[in-house]
């Protein structure tokens, strides 16, 4: 789930733990909170949960599917596409 959260942050145009060396990224992933600024507001709690430091606090795949299914149909998840 942690990797999914990191991929979702990247898909939103961000870098969960910034830039730098692999060692620096590993350190920040363990000791700092993820930067979710680029993640659409409606998905931040879900993505943040995936990036929880304690694996027991991360959502299960089923919980992620349930959370996404509970969103209203057509609910915006990000900025409007450029025309």
- pLDDT per residue rounded down to tens, the chain (83 residues): 999 999 999 999 999 999 999 999 999 999 999 999 999 988 999 999 999 999 999 999 999 999 989 877 766 666 665 55
Global pTM value: 0.79
Alpha helices, DSSP H only, in the chain?
Answer: 2-11, 22-31, 44-50, 61-70
Return the exposure string of 14-52: e unless at least 16 CB atoms fall within 10 Å of the residue's CB, then b: bebbeeeeeeebeebbeeeebebeebeeebbebbbbbbe
């Amino acid at each position: 789930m942690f990797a999914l959260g990191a991929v979702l942050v990247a898909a939103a145009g961000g870098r969960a733990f910034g830039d730098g060396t692999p060692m620096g990224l590993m350190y920040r992933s363990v000791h700092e909170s993820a930067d979710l600024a680029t993640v659409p507001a409606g998905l931040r709690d879900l993505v943040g949960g995936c990036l929880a430091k304690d694996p027991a606090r991360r959502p299960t795949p089923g919980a992620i599917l349930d959370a996404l299914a509970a969103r209203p149909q057509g609910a915006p998840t990000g900025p409007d596409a450029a025309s």
